[in-house]
Amino acid sequence: MVEIVGMAPEDECEREMFMTITWEKRKFSVPLSQLESIKASKETKEAVEDWRYWVMMGYEFLKVLALDGRHIE
């Protein structure tokens, strides 16, 4: 069992949602799709289920460059 301690940095989540976990006193970023909610709040479980549905439907992140050069998610 691992503990999710947060979301991975934005640059690691450009194609897939990654979470930062702790395992044996080390931190790693792993794809959310490889994790299973065991001891999570109802809201967290719902968010994970929504994410899996989103991936199953084939949706992807889309980065758009604004006219002034900013990235729009």
Query: What would the pLDDT profile of 46-63 be if each residue is shown by its tens digit?
Result: 888 888 888 888 877 665
Write down the pLDDT at residue 71: 52
Read off the pTM.
0.65
Beta-sheet pairing, 71-72 with 18-23: unpaired
Cβ neighbour number for residue 32 with a 10 Å cutoff: 18
Element (H, E) at 7: strand 3-7
User: Which of 16-20, 25-29, 65-69 is predicted least confidently?
Assistant: 65-69
Q: Binning pLDDT at 50, 70 and 90, where does residue 66 land?
A: low
Query: pLDDT digit string (tens) for 24-48?
Result: 889 989 888 888 888 888 988 888 8
